[in-house]
Every structure is written in C-alpha cells, then in structure tokens.
Structure 1
Amino acid sequence: MKVNVYNLKREQVGEIDLSDEVFGAEVKEQLFYEVVKAQLASRRAGTKATKERSAVAGSSKKLYRQKGTGRARQGSIRAPHHAGGGMAHALEPQDWSYRPPRKVRIGALKSALSLYAKEGRLIVLDSLELPEIKTKAIVDALGALQAGKKSLVVDSASNEKLVKSIRNLDAHQFLPPEGVNVYDLLRHDHLVVSKEAAKALEARCLR
C-alpha cells in the first residue's frame, strides 16, 4: 500500500510503499483484548503478603497443660485465633504475568497498525530531526501535523533531540520501533513515525 510522506510542516514530500500484511491487515479486535490483558497482568506487582503463624513473633511453647484446667486445648500463642497470631490462609506473593503465543502478539500489533492506517491516523514523516532540544519545538511540530491531542511518536532511540524534547509532555509519548506495543498504540489518537521507523515496524512484524 502507498502512504503519503510528509515533512514537519505537513507538506507532502513523497510516498512510501508499506506492506499490506502489516498496515493493511484485517483488524481483529479480539486480539487486542488478549494482548492488553496480558500486558496489564504482567505489570501487577503481586507483592501483597500477610504473615502466617510460622512468620509471626511469639513462643511456640504450649500455653498450659493439656488436661485439668477446664479450658480449651491450646498449642501456641501464634495460632490465628490469638491476638497477634498469624493469619489463617495467609496471602502470598504471586506472579500474575503470562505471555500469549507469538502469533497472537504479532497479529494484535498488525491489527493495531492497520487500524491507524485505515482510519487515517497514521502520519509518516521523511525525518523527525528537530533543530534543537526544546519541548516547544515538538509541540509546534505535532500541532502542524494535526496530531497535537495525544500522539505516539516512533523513531530511532538514537534521536536524542526528539527523545529529550518530548519526555516532559503528558499527552505524547516516544517509543523506539522495538518498543511499540498494542497497549500504547490503543491509548493514543495518532501514530507519528519516521520512514525508517515504519520500515523497522514492518520488518518486526514479518520476521
């Protein structure tokens, strides 16, 4: 598929041929659910924990003799029914992360990229080189590109001027091609990529 290529002033400067398999694929929304659910599950800390009877402080000596006191039999001050005792069925740290099959992950990424292209929210630039490290420079550029609301900007991680200019913005995010993921794609309105980054994304989905 042919996609227009713009400069930072949104002037068309050419075209780029992108793979229909990556940017023109069928949008399978059910894959979004599977992959985003896995991403968010993997972010869970899973560190909540409470102490069971073996972990709390206290003597393990039997409180009093077994028979003859007229009281119920007690074995330890650390038992759950005593004040300061351990929890019954204590919570333990848990790893919630899991990884969907590669076909599902790549299929969801292709669907997300194709959704941007289909809805006209994909903006390919000949270059994302800024004249200096300045937040206002990237804000003005995104405004000129009509992508000023909430954008995901993708270029090489070596583009230091871009990385440092965009990092103070809450509504916009920078990612290198190898870091682009379904969750971040779905939560932005526009995808702004350099020609090189677009080809890197294409290669990543086809390898």
Structure 2
Amino acid sequence: MSSVTRIEWTEVTWNPTTGCDRISPGCDHCYALTLAKRLKAMGQAKYQCDGDPRTSGPGFALTVHEDALFEPLRWRRPRKVFVNSMSDIGHARVPTAFVARVFATMAMGPQHQFQVLTKRPRLLRRLLESQKFVDVVWAEMERLSSDDTVPLARSGHVPSGLPRCAEDRAASSSCPAARRRAGDLAPRARGLRGRHSAQLEHAPDAGVVGGPQA
C-alpha cells in the first residue's frame, strides 16, 4: 500500500519493491532498515522476509510486490510520488523485467511527479540507456493500455510517446542535499522517433542519487 508521508519534498510513497542491502558507510544509518524491523514486528505483510544480517536485516530482504505495481494508476489527483522509499529500484536483484514494469507504470501516470532515489546510479543508468530495456517498457505500456483489468485513472488517455525526464522540474525540486540526475536517468531510444522525442517523458520527474557509483 502507498502511504502519506512526512517527508517534506514529496507527498506520498509507493513501494513496488521493499528491502535493500547496505553498500557503503552512507547506508549505516538507513532509516528504512530500522523501520522495516518495526514493521515486521507489527505484522506488516510486506516486511516478513529477513535480509542477510551482514548487509540487511529483519523484514528487509529485497522483495518484489506485484500487487503494488499499479497503485499510482488509481489516483486521479496529481501527486508527488517517492518511488521505493523502502528499497532501491537500482538494486541488482530487482529483475530487469520488473524495473521495466515500474517505469511503464510511471509513464502511464503523467499527472504525477515521480521521484526516484538510488544509491546505484551507474547500474540504473546502464539499464535505462539500453535499447532492449526501452523496448520492454514500450511493450509493457502497450499491454497496460489494452488491459481492462488495469486501473487507469486518466479516463483512457494513453501517452503517444515514451516519457522524457523533466529536467527543468528536477532542477527546481526542493529535495535537500541531493544531486539531481534526471537527465542521466532518461534513456536514449535510438531508432524510435528521432533523436530527442523518444526519451522517457514522464518517468521519473526527478532522480536523487548518492553513495557508490555501482
């Protein structure tokens, strides 16, 4: 489930995956790791799988949540959405096909501003610059637009092109202590609709990166 948050630079969190692994000293005081332990003790279903105690902890194993994938498509009112506040979409163990589905969901919700935080920008950038990945996102968008079981809150409106990162909005983001890398997160879709028009337009609107360039 998504939830309203007290984080000042966003409005709601959306966690299609949960859990992570510490990869640098910058992860030593990870709030999500501490919170996952508490959520497990409370019986929250998303946080019942324990991670490796050397790098993770109770309730914090990297876990994919299919049932959370389409939550933003149910929201009519535009929102600022912090993607994976309890995980990292750039984690090596998140299946590539699932990452593509996450980006397709973001693309199908252009009324929202999606904010992606990663400690693994180089890994995620390599993925997003892959033509094969872009093709998978396209295919998933087409599938979503024709699937009657998928909740689309935009009254049937389907984007005519792949979304492009909004660098202007990212640059003006109020998120503190972060380097904006929205442009880096936009894949070049070579061979699709010209040199500039086939980049990701609506997903994400802002990227926040930090830690090792893994």
Do these two structures clear the TM 0.5 threshold for a shared fold by scoring above it?
no
TM superposition score category, shorter chain reference = under 0.3
TM-score, L = length of structure 2: 0.26
Provide the TM-score with structure 1 as the length reference.
0.27
Larger Rg: 1
Greater RCO, 1 or 2 (C-alpha within 8 Å, sep 6+): 1
